Structure 1
Amino acid sequence: MEFIVEKIGMSRTITVPAVPVTLLKVLDTKVCDVTDGVAFCSYSSGKKMNKTIEGQQKKFNLSAEFNRFVTLNVANTEAGDLDVSGLSEAKVLKTTFKTKGRGFTGAVKRWNFAGGRASHGHRMGKRTGSIGMCEWPGRVMPGKKMPGQYGNTTNSVKNDVVSFDAETGILVVKGAVSGPNGGLGKVRIAK
């Protein structure tokens, strides 16, 4: 079973020793249509609605706050509110979020290269250095670690469930989860 969640942030337990935890808010999700266990769902993203989404809202009789659509594997057999009762018995979750995007970065930041020394007036600094080969093969090999886009990739992590409050929809998982606070992602029950 899958759920749409928003990352609230990190905290720790008050037990000794303290355990680092991540707080996730399970978003209110409406199941619009179910086919073979895969559901067409609508959730609130807090963003503005466009004409296409307004048409879908009318089709499924949803209020204006549910303005994003996604397909999920769910326990529901018919349309209505998403059934979150499975989270209370869950032991391990697989969380999928986008990592923080850091833009175009150099090789030192992106791949943890060492860079050159800072003394005696050299020009090396934070440059990549030599990338070529000898006469054979005489080209740069595919997959060479070079400057480029860093972050903004999908990352999945398995986390143990510490607690789940069904009233508030707050899910507490052990350890860290990728992405910024306020970022949206998916949670799937692994165990």
Structure 2
Amino acid sequence: MEAEDRLATKKIPIVRMECPTCIPLLEREVQRLEGVEEARGSYVTKTLRVTYNPARVDLREIEAAIERLGYRIAYKRYPGVASRIRGLLGREKPSGIRSLSDDEFPDRVLKAPRPVAVLFATPTCPTCRGLKLAYEEAAEGLEGEADLYEMDIASTETWRRYDILAIPIILVFRGGEVAERLGPFPRREEIEGALKR
């Protein structure tokens, strides 16, 4: 076997893996990298086992893909609280998605004259943050045709009425009723398609 065909396997310990739905997102994003043969996550051990060709993809690229989703790698050092606060203050663009409270939900969603999507998530969930980019892009593409909102399940109770067992999930409403459930990883096109049907 030539050096360029040799595969390496690395077990990467992941921090902030808070729910089992994190696993498919991590696996999918890492497997998109050219040179990665397989990525298998374990919620129990909070690790991602990656088999890759070091001649085609560098371990740093794999780590960067994990970090782009909002996760951290246990063996790396990260900036402290002061650096994070500076980073928050320097944010470029706030989210265009409006957060809903339990009190606003009936008027904005159930009585809405056009299709409405609600992303049920939490701000601390990296998987939710990974989905939010596609959700925000769909909101821009559907401006004027549909309304897109988000609800934090940690500070609201509405989600309990809709049998939500895992986050993130998007519920699409038409005429006050749930028309579709999208989750946990719909693409922008799927979100837009569900709201245009």
Indicate whether the TM-score tops 0.5.
no
Compare the two structures and name the one with the higher helix fraction. Answer: 2
From the CA coordinates, give the structure whose radius of gyration is larger.
1
TM-score by length of 2: 0.22
TM-score by length of 1: 0.23
Higher relative contact order (CA 8 A, sep 6+): 1
